[in-house]
């Protein structure tokens, strides 16, 4: 499975599944990352963490450990 942390700037994907449990999964869903959402990686920090993505018309920064829990197509 390909995860969000593996995308490079400019690449896009659709959220297929959220891994994780409890508060972490709820927090990701509350930010708008739900199944079927189209996401595009805009930027990656110089040291690789965090990454900035665009979804639902806004920009969001995620840590790599959070992005690794989001499977995409």
Say what the pTM is: 0.84
Residue 59, beta-bridge partner list = 54
User: How far is the first Cα of the chain from the last one, in angstroms, to the nearest whole number?
Assistant: 8
Q: What are the structural domain ranges in the chain? A: 2-72
User: Distance between CA atoms of 72 and 44, rounded to whole angstroms?
Assistant: 18
**36-60 residue pLDDT tens:** 999 999 999 998 889 999 999 999 9
**54-69 residue pLDDT tens:** 999 999 999 999 999 9
CATH superfamily for 2-72 is Ferrous iron transport protein A (FeoA) (2.30.30.90)
């Amino acid at each position: 499975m390909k995860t969000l942390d593996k995308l490079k700037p400019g690449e896009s994907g659709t959220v297929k599944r959220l891994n994780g449990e409890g508060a972490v999964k709820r927090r990701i869903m509350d930010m708008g990352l739900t199944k079927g959402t189209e996401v595009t990686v805009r930027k990656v920090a110089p040291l690789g963490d965090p990454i900035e993505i665009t979804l639902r018309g806004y920009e969001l920064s995620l840590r790599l450990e959070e992005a690794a829990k989001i499977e995409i197509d």
